[in-house]
Amino acid sequence: MPLPRVLPGFYSTRLATVFVVLVCLLLLFIDSMRSWEAKERRLSEAEMSTSNMTWSLAQHAEATLKEVDSILIGLVERVGVDGAEPPAIDRLRGFLSSRVASVAQLHSLSVFDRYGRLLVDSQTSISAPRYGADQEYFIHHRDHVDTGPYIGVPIKSKTAGGWIITLSRTIKLKDGSFGGVALANIDIRHFQQFYDSFDIGRNGMIYFALDKGIVLARRPLRNDSVGKDISNAPAFREYIAHSKSGTILIRSSQDEVERIVSYRHLDGYPMYVAAALSKEEVLAPWLADTYLHSAGVLVLASVLGVLGSRLVAQLRLRIRAERDALEARVTLEKLNQTLEKLALQDSLTRLANRRQFDIVIEDELNRAKRNRGSLALILIDVDHFKQYNDIYGHQAGDACLRQIGNTLKSFERRSGDLAARYGGEEFTVILSDTDRAGATIVARNVCQAVRNLGIAHSASPGRSVTISIGVSAFDVVERDDTADALIENADQAMYMAKAAGRDQVRLFIEA
């Protein structure tokens, strides 16, 4: 008996419910998408802002260093040409003083001879001897042949008391030998003043550091900021040390603030700048806007939900009687279907029973006759099953049959295939569109699959449950071929397998 048609009122309530839910969900989805896009746009703008900021910082640092470096280049050439005699030194002192006075970022200029003795300084006379032979910059130039600029770690100025960055170059004598060092001290406050002009929020940061991770300047400036080694920080170790520029999102291990960080290495100098904005501060306006929009959308969705639920309730009241009758009819129909299914199913293994097997094999045989197709059957018997029941009991025997049934079920690969319990410990599998060779392969796979179950059986030669399989097939089903012949051939082949020692497959071949 077919299922009764569902009453129109049923569809009406469902449709109304779905419509109300979809409208509410659509409102929430649109608002969520708008919020998500606004968030991504905000983050993208912040990334661009930090990238532009680092570009400005790098340009400023490069311009600052190049201006000072050009002075050092002129100073090196002047010392190399004029030498270090007293008249030349006196003229050089005036040159140094005028340059320091004209360049805002310069703190001082100095020249040291090849032994590290101070020859001239922009700030003092040489009345008191000063030596630089033990300084990092002097040792570098003395021990390296390159004549490029060298930037040392920041040091505290003894005269001004503030932090300075040293930029130095090698002085070569006329014969090409090491003649000393020209040194420029750059006031870090020059960078700090520039960094203060940027809006980085409460938790933003600006870094100016050497490529090896020594901080030269920082905003906000702390007591331990300048000279600090940050080479082990995750951002430096994983990103800054390996690429010229980039933008990353990273959480600080010190204050747990997640920041958008852009960095850029300087051209021609072993230094980099980095700017960071707090992700929370960047998204704060977006979050406030999202709260406002979401509240409005939730109120609107709630109103729609209430009105929709009242409409659905009214529709349900109108069709309650029809629905109750419909449910009773559907329940009865389901019960009939269940009874029909049980009539065609083996209660122990949940496989098809003998009745369903008889119906399906006739249907498949007729179909194969119409299409001149092939049809195969494998018949299976559990080896030494009586002994298994005697040793382990009937409950264990039932469990064994269920496991084998589950295994056979997995071999129903095509729509016409059917695994069935034939009776007792015998099973069968109908294989549609399968010839002898294919059926033999399937049978061997079934035999191996049962072995793989590893069901213990002390009375079996292999100490586990095995099966014997007979295979029969019509490679091309003829008009006079019958299901009985196919079953009988498979049965003969199965007994041949048992006679040959069990746990094997035998194919029926006509004499």
Tokens matching residue 455: 């069901």
Dihedral (Cα; 287, 288, 292, 295), 10-degree rounding: 50
Separation CA 177–CA 76 (nearest Å): 13
Using CB atoms within 10 Å of the CB of residue 389, give its burial: 0 to 12 exposed, 13 to 18 middle, 19+ buried.
Answer: middle
| Distance, C-alpha 369 to centroid of its chain | 55
Dihedral (Cα; 406, 412, 418, 422), 10-degree rounding: -30
Tokens matching residue 204: 């933003």
User: Which are the catalytic amino acids?
Assistant: 425
- What single DSSP character describes residue 456? B
CB-side neighbour CA atoms (13 Å) of 367: 14
Q: Which residues have CB under 8 Å from 256's CB, separation 6+?
A: none
Q: Which residues have CB under 8 Å from 436's CB, separation 6+?
A: 376, 471, 473, 475, 507
Strands (E) located in 13-162: 106-113, 118-121, 150-151, 155-156
Q: Which residue type is seen at 385?
A: F
Q: Are 290 and 35 in contact (CB under 8 A)?
A: yes
Q: Is residue 473 within a helix (H) or strand (E), and if so which, with residue range?
A: strand 467-474
Neighbouring C-beta atoms of residue 488, cutoff 10 Å: 14
Q: Which residues pair with 473 in a beta bridge?
A: 376
